[in-house]
Amino acid sequence: MCSHCGCRSIELIGRLSDQHDVIVNATSPLRLAAADGDGSSAADACGVLARLMAPHVGLEERGLFAELRREEEFPAAAIALDDEQWARLNADRGADPPTTPAPHRREPADRADSPTTDRPHTNTPTAPTPYGDRMPTSTVTPRPQLLSARSAAVVAATAAVVAEHAEQITARFYPRMFAENPELLRVFNQGNQATGEQSRALAASVVAYAVQLIDPAAPSFHHVMQRIAHKHVSLGIRAEQYTIVGHHLLAAVGEVLGDAVTPEVADAWNEVYWLFATQLVAEEARLYLKAGVDPAHPVRPYRVVRRIEETNDVVSLVLEPADGGELPHIAPGQYVSVFVDLPDARRQPRQYTVSSTSLGTRLQITVRKVRGAGGAPDGQVSTYLNDHVAPGDVLDVSAPAGDFVQLAGGPLLLASAGAGITTVLPIVEHIARTQPQRKVIVAHADRTAQDHALRETVLHVGRQIDDFTAYTWYETVDDTDRRSRHGLMDLSAVELPDDVQVFTCGPLPFMRHVRSSLLLRGVPASRIRYEVFGPDLWQVQEPPVSSEAS
């Protein structure tokens, strides 16, 4: 029995996958922190964790579910799986079909605030979703129902309103949280706070996550979830901090929406948040374990051993562990968080791609000085690293993180702009070492040749690949430059193999341009991957793609 909320979820978790110890350890501080209040958040955490793990449960555990329901020891957010869902889940796991009916969910019909028992047990939204009238037309693989039927109905009815006010909610949330927990200012990128990018990204993520809980046709949230988890691990986010976030985020919902937030609405969105948080906690626990990192001590000291002035505003820093330990494994395309103590005594993290993995016991990051636009100040961390850091200085650096490390076989197009070249170089290095016979096309866009960092290094490594082609586009081309093209990247004239895989990295407008032009050429969306520097606003701004294009 769970000592924090009185339910028996912990007993259930102990009978699940080989990751149960990791998940239990990771979520224990979360439940302890929640139990410091009235205990209800602890019960929510246990309940959603149990439902989250339901797809991993075999038929032998069904008796335990029935027992928990009979004894009413499960929290209100208990598992809601009908016979068809049980059959589908166990078929996916390769288990035999059930020979007896699945235990039916016990509805709280005896409660005064309970909905009627004849409500449909579906995930069909009853109100417009944030997609408006547009519904994806692709074939959808059914997903397990994680949100309880009661909450699903409420979320479906209120999703459009929450989506409409999502940015107001998150804009209210961050100041609230920082005012009561100023120590978190050392974890969150204050540059993204100032521009509002972090608020927009959080708003988009919460809405997209909620929609995919209630709409079977909504795009999968898995890829975004992976990105968030990797970013959190690089920052040292801990399980108990989700209680802080949940408290202030849900309070911000109440402040913005006012009387519209009835107890039923609050309970439903509370369940959405804890589902979101618990999935992240579990995934982050797995990543911490895999990296051998203690979340309480997520960084190591690295000494700067060399500076390479790539361009007027780009510098590469070569780093080696200063604690005598070994360099961790780094996959191509991964990044690290670098924590900098600024002259005004503030500590700030930034993520930088490991721009070269060919240095043996050392790693390299390449930093472009961020120039403020539209009256915004220059980037403080990038300016500090460019102007002040010298060989011999020590920086706190996280373990490598990043979810885009899978490079499927076949021809590869690497399309980048600006600082996106830092992700291209380690991928080219990796292919030169392991698959030199592979066809590789590198396409890069920049302001001028003088702004194009790592150009000669990429070309040098590319000579080790049997079939390597490079294209460049500059806004301003030197009169003596006969190799580069003028203007924005135009892939229409670039010959592409039918089975090409695409990776793109750079500013969001650039990546959207690349993606749309490739879709028009018939490249399937599933073969186009991207990497975002900073908050992932792709979900916010992604326009609908016609079924013909995808």
- List the structure tokens of 432: 């030169």
Given the residues 167, 240, 284, 310, select the one marked as catalytic: 284
- List the structure tokens of 116: 């009627």
- 339 pLDDT higher than 80: yes
Do the beta carbons of residue 214 and residue 135 sit within 8 Å? no
Q: How many CB atoms lie within 10 A of CB 452?
A: 21
Alpha carbon 471 to chain centroid, angstroms: 31
374-416 pLDDT, tens digit each: 666 778 999 999 999 999 999 999 999 986 556 678 899 999 9
276-293 pLDDT, tens digit each: 988 898 889 889 988 999
pLDDT of residue 61: 42
CA angle, 73 then 77 then 78, to 5°: 55
Given the residues 242, 273, 302, 474, select the one marked as catalytic: 242
pLDDT of residue 358: 82
- In this structure, are strands 412-417 and 394-398 parallel, antiparallel, or unpaired? unpaired
Do the beta carbons of residue 151 and residue 268 sit within 8 Å? yes
386-394 CB contacts, 8 Å cutoff, 24+ apart: 386/313, 386/314, 386/315, 389/304, 389/307, 389/317, 390/304, 390/307, 391/304, 391/305, 391/306, 391/307, 392/303, 392/304, 393/303, 393/304, 394/301, 394/302, 394/303, 394/304, 394/322
Q: Check if 242 is active-site.
A: yes
Q: Which residue has the higher pLDDT, 293 or 122?
A: 293
pLDDT of residue 252: 94
pLDDT of residue 83: 46
- 201 pLDDT higher than 70: yes
- 370 pLDDT higher than 70: yes
Q: How far apart are CA 347 and CA 371, in angstroms?
A: 20
- CA dist 310 → 34, 259, 313, 366 (Å): 49, 56, 8, 8
pLDDT of residue 354: 94
Closest Cα partner for 57 from 25, 103, 119, 26? 103
Do the beta carbons of residue 83 and residue 73 sit within 8 Å? no
- Rounded average pLDDT over 228-248: 92
Class of domain 412-541: alpha beta
pLDDT of residue 333: 87
49-96 pLDDT, tens digit each: 555 554 444 433 444 444 433 333 333 333 333 444 434 444 443 444
- Rounded average pLDDT over 520-525: 92
pLDDT of residue 390: 97
- CA dist 262 → 87, 152, 267, 272 (Å): 36, 15, 9, 15
249-269 pLDDT, tens digit each: 999 999 999 999 999 999 999
Alpha carbon 201 to chain centroid, angstroms: 10
Of 28-32, 357-361, 382-386, the least confident: 28-32
Handedness of CA 216, 515, 535, 414 (dihedral sign): positive
Model-wide pTM > 0.85: no
pLDDT of residue 407: 66
- Rounded average pLDDT over 298-321: 96
Q: How far apart are CA 185 and CA 295, in angstroms?
A: 17
Q: How far apart are CA 226 and CA 413, in angstroms?
A: 23
Residue ranges of domains in the chain:
24-54+114-291, 299-398, 412-541
- Rounded average pLDDT over 360-371: 92
- Rounded average pLDDT over 178-207: 85
Mean pLDDT of the chain: 76
Options 1.10.10.10, 2.40.50.140, 1.20.120.1200, 1.10.490.10; CATH of 24-54+114-291: 1.10.490.10
Q: Note the CATH architecture for domain 299-398.
A: Beta Barrel (2.40)
Q: Check if 310 is active-site.
A: no
